[in-house]
Amino acid sequence: MPSQALTPEFLETLPCLTPKARGTYYFDTEITGFAVEHRANGRATFYFRYRDAGKRVRLARIGAVDEISLIEARVLASRMKKMVAEGGDPKLEADRFKDIPTFAEFAAEHYLPHVKTRKRSWISDDSLLRNHILPVLGKHRLSRIRRSDVIALHNGMKHAGYAAATANRALVLISFMFNCAMRWEVMPMTPNPASGIEPFPDNGARERYLTQEEAQRLMAELETNPNRQACNIIKLLLFTGARKTEIMHARWEFVDFERRLLTVPLSKSGKARHIALSDAALDVLQSLPREPEIPWLFWNPNTGRPQDSIHHGWDTIRQRAGIPDVRLHDLRHSFASFLVNSGRSLYEVQKLLGHSNAKTTQRYAHLAPGALIEAANIVGHLVQAKPSVAAE
């Protein structure tokens, strides 16, 4: 039986056989027992040949060449060889050599069950998978997905009109999932097909800050708008710089009126954080209605559960206030903007916003150019000051 270095190039150029010819086995020169059978009908299959405990020659099927990659077949052949050396029998223990799962199978059976217990944003991952990634890559085995497939998906999302940030998030998720699959030994260590693909420039990213006049118009609308629950949520967002869910899912037991703190047991950083309550924030909290059986500050009267969204109420309020482009999260940016422009330090802003990394807060450094110019002028004033004349 011929020996042959099994390479992708060789598999692509397997010689044609006559209809009456018998199948030919080509045995790999690297892994003893690893072979590919080439049949007269043109199909080819990977096998591993070995001797069992009774010294009989056995063939364990690994998979068809058009269904399993050469790299994957080599890994399985190596595992079978190790099993035989340890006294095992690959044909009797075939369940240990199942094919590498499809991307959809890996997502459902491995990835999502893992991140649901460890990643607070797993719902975003699930949405990206269902809407964008699985329709394109879901049916392909992990080992069969190529860099060109990932590039095509990434480009396809952009051409379909999705924002650059959305397409880039899909790219990051695919790369992370492949790293998980290799780290968890679901697939062999291979180059990550999503690694090194350049993300799209996110020119649409922006941070909107309310001016003082816009904030005053907003406050005027909040005082008169009939949707009192939405108004109170919006006030607290503006007065505290908190994230939307930190306010909408807050419970009364987390409010410390004496220390003027609202505790978030599990923040975005994965740790507890304490939100400072200003006089204005305390006034809002003290005006809220309370129900003995309801633990939340804000709740849905139909379900008794915390509110999930105030989008409709907020959209009406911002339209009436003349700020239709402002998002709820922009209130957090505005909170930081007002602080920086009033001369407060970035360190104070970092603590109030709950940023674990000072670099995240650095985005607001440009908001107070006047303060920086004033600081720079100190040097000019000092060196250009006329020396005092010593008294005689």
Per-residue pLDDT tens digits for 61-113? 888 888 788 888 898 899 899 889 988 888 877 656 666 789 999 999 999 99
H or E element, residue 25? strand 24-28
Q: Which two tokens stand for residue 363?
A: 């985005």
CB atoms within 10 A of CB 10: 13
Check: CB of residue 47 under 8 Å from CB of residue 60.
yes
Say yes or no: 302 and 255 in one domain: yes
Continuous segment of H or E residues that includes residue 371: helix 369-384
Q: Within 188-329, where are the H helices?
A: 212-224, 228-240, 244-248, 279-287, 311-320
Both structure tokens of 228: 């009192």
Residues in CB range of 73: below 8 A, 6 or more apart: 34, 46, 62, 63
Residue 174 domain-assigned? Answer: yes
Of 70, 97, 124, the domain-final residue: 97
- For the chain, the average pLDDT equals 87
pLDDT level of residue 47 (50, 70, 90 thresholds): very high
Whether 200 maps to a domain, the answer reads no
**289 and 256 in a common domain:** yes
Give the pLDDT confidence of 108-153 residue by residue, as tens digits: 999 999 999 888 778 889 999 999 999 999 998 887 799 999 999 9
Residue 190 is predicted with a pLDDT of 80
* pLDDT reading at 391 higher than 60: no
**Among residues 219, 239, 202, 207, which one has the least CA distance to residue 325?**
207
Is the pLDDT reported for residue 13 higher than 90?
no
Indicate the length of the chain as a whole number. 392
Residues 249 and 321 in one domain: yes
Instruction: List the structure tokens of 191.
Output: 């180059």
Radius of gyration of the chain (CA): 32
132 and 251 both lie in a single domain: no
- Domain check: are 224 and 354 in the same one? yes
Residue 204 has pLDDT above 70, yes or no: no
pLDDT tens track for 250-271: 999 999 999 999 998 877 666 7
Whether 203 has a pLDDT exceeding 70, the answer reads no
The answer, as to whether pTM is greater than 0.75, is no
Q: Decide if 45 is inside a domain.
A: yes
- Model confidence at 58, in pLDDT bands (50, 70, 90)? very high
Residue 380 has pLDDT above 70, yes or no: yes
> Is residue 334 pLDDT above 70, yes or no?
yes
Query: What CATH number is associated with residue 275?
Result: 1.10.443.10
Question: Do residues 301 and 349 share a domain?
Answer: yes
Helix (H, G, I), strand (E, B) or coil at 390: coil
Residue 307 has pLDDT above 90, yes or no: no
**Confidence at residue 274, expressed as pLDDT on a 0 to 100 scale:** 92
* Per-residue pLDDT at 21 exceeds 60: no
Q: Per the domain annotation, does 76 fall within a domain?
A: yes
Do 67 and 175 fall into the same domain?
Answer: no
In a domain, residue 242? The reply is: yes
pLDDT, position 34: 95
Same domain, yes or no, for 75 and 115? no
> pLDDT tens for residues 217-235?
999 999 999 999 999 999 9
Is residue 286 over pLDDT 90?
yes
* DSSP states along 71-116: HHHHHHHHHHHHHHHTT--TTTTGGGGPPPPBHHHHIIIIIHHHHT
Q: What is the pLDDT of residue 382?
A: 77
Check residue 313 and give its pLDDT: 94
Residue 101, both tokens: 């799962």
pLDDT at 39: 85
The three-class DSSP label of residue 317 is helix
Mean pLDDT of 370-390: 72
Three-state DSSP class for 49?
strand
Distance in angstroms (rounded) separating the CA atoms of residues 141 and 13: 23
Same domain, 146 and 290: no
Residue 177 has what pLDDT?
96
5/41: higher pLDDT: 5
**Are the beta carbons of 328 and 237 closer than 8 angstroms?**
yes
Residue 45's pLDDT band, with cuts at 50, 70 and 90, is very high
Total domain count for the chain?
3
Q: Give the range of the structural domain holding residue 295, as residue numbers without chain letter.
A: 212-364
Quote the tokens at residue 328: 């709820």
Compute the average pLDDT of residues 30-50: 90
C-beta of residue 11 within 8 angstroms of C-beta of residue 70? yes
Average pLDDT over residues 23-47: 89
**In this structure, is residue 370 part of a structural domain?**
no
- The residues, any chain, with a CB within 8 Å of residue 39's CB and separated by 6 or more, are 17, 23, 45
Distance CA 327, CA 318 (A): 9
The reply to whether 156 and 287 lie within a common domain is no
47 shares its domain with 126: no
Q: State how beta strands 261-264 and 44-51 pair.
A: unpaired
Report if residue 373 sits inside a domain: no
Q: Among 50, 107, 57, which residue's Cα sits nearest to residue 82?
A: 50
What CATH number corresponds to the domain at position 66? 3.30.160.390
Does residue 348 share a domain with residue 252? yes
Percent above pLDDT 70 for the chain: 91
Q: What is the pLDDT of residue 181?
A: 92
**Residue 377, in any domain of the structure:** no
